[in-house]
Structure 1
């Protein structure tokens, strides 16, 4: 309405892809630098691949490689390939701090399963039912108290070591403390009772 669109054939630059300027053995160029338009044309890739089957295969291989890198990183603690939620020196310290301790919270699911079995086995006995429910609430209270104490100790250590504490590190450590040790990802890199300082 306010102007005509340029003809697409005029706006496109038809330049043959140029090869990179070869270098000599001492690192100097052996020819002239290609023009910018030639370099841009050389870097152009089609938005839609011509061979979709090959493109899918390449994408699948890249996905498999990324999964393998993540799996190895979870086993070795290599931060280059860890998920973003696990990266950072403070989170690594929090992981080691939790993994070096015995935590009641990591056995919570086993206790809950035991309470459930007892409750189903003695469903007709009111006294046992009340005892099971009381025991379950006591267990939850102990785990909450343990999490608060552990979190405060971790906060003091993080401030002493790093000067500040990143957001979410304490919750990250608390959630790890509630997981059974063998199921934690990334895998624990320290033994129980080992000093991490």
Structure 2
């Protein structure tokens, strides 16, 4: 009664004739705007929050790992603002090129800590004097290092070191060489870049 004609159902759809591709042409129909917008739409709140959270954490972890690897290499673009620039690189090189008493202070303090458990008066007195002697020597060494760095920055860059540079250099000198970030880019006794 109101149905379709059976002859129309039996016919196979005709194949669309392919036109040869033209060089320099797009060779495809322009997509509809509503189709493109629909493909770009994303919900404000994902349907599976746990999976979205896991994915965000994984992306953030990958980003942090990439930045850390670049920092370890000393890549200038990946360094935080406090480590960027030729002045800071020169200061790091000046610290890394010499033996610093501060870098041996931490391992020595472990030995001092072990000695402090001995309940003999001679051990306590020895620990007391040795610790204060090392701290005083480390402070003097840091002061001399800073004077040398400040003079080198003045000569090389014709400007005073930026604010906070003294603490930057001294804290680096108190770290063990293997734990410094960015990694030392110069051997001991080498000339700064």
Shared fold per TM-score greater than 0.5: yes
User: What are the Cα deviations for residues 50-108 of structure 1, in whole angstroms up to 9, with x where unaligned?
Assistant: 66456435533431232122221122100211223322222221111111110011010
Of the two structures, which has the highest relative contact order with CA contacts closer than 8 Å and spacing of 6 or more?
Answer: 2
Query: Partner residue of 1:147?
Result: 142
Which structure 2 residues correspond to residues 2-81 of structure 1 after superposition, within 5 A?
Answer: 48=45, 52=49, 55-81=52-78
Asked if 1:110 is matched to 2:107, the reply is yes
Structure with max Cα Rg = 2
Q: Distance in 1 between matches of 2:91 and 2:144?
A: 14
User: What are the Cα deviations for residues 138-160 of structure 1, in whole angstroms up to 9, with x where unaligned?
Assistant: 11000000001101110111111
Partner SS state of residue 80, structure 1: helix
Q: Distance in 1 between matches of 2:55 and 2:94?
A: 40
Query: Under a length normalisation based on structure 2, what TM-score does the superposition of the two structures give?
Result: 0.70
Would the aligned equivalents of 1:101 and 1:193 in 2 still touch at CA under 8 Å?
A: yes
Asked if 1:119 is matched to 2:121, the reply is no
Among candidates 186, 190, 193, match of residue 182 of structure 2: 186
Q: Distance in 1 between matches of 2:172 and 2:60?
A: 27
Once the two structures are TM-superposed, the CA of residue 194 in structure 1 deviates from its matched residue by 0.8
Q: Distance in 2 between matches of 1:92 and 1:56?
A: 38
Among candidates 168, 172, 176, match of residue 176 of structure 1: 172
Among candidates 126, 134, 140, match of residue 131 of structure 1: 126
Unaligned runs of at least 5 residues, structure 1: 1-24, 26-42
User: For the aligned residues, what is the CA RMSD?
Assistant: 3.0
Count the aligned residue pairs.
161
Q: Distance in 1 between matches of 2:170 and 2:41?
A: 48
Among candidates 156, 159, 162, match of residue 161 of structure 1: 156
Unaligned runs of at least 5 residues, structure 2: 1-23, 25-39
Query: Under a length normalisation based on structure 1, what TM-score does the superposition of the two structures give?
Result: 0.69
Q: Distance in 2 between matches of 1:131 and 1:158?
A: 40
User: Would you identify which runs of 4 or more consecutive aligned residues in structure 1 move more than 6 Å?
Assistant: 43-46
Q: Distance in 1 between matches of 2:42 and 2:162?
A: 41
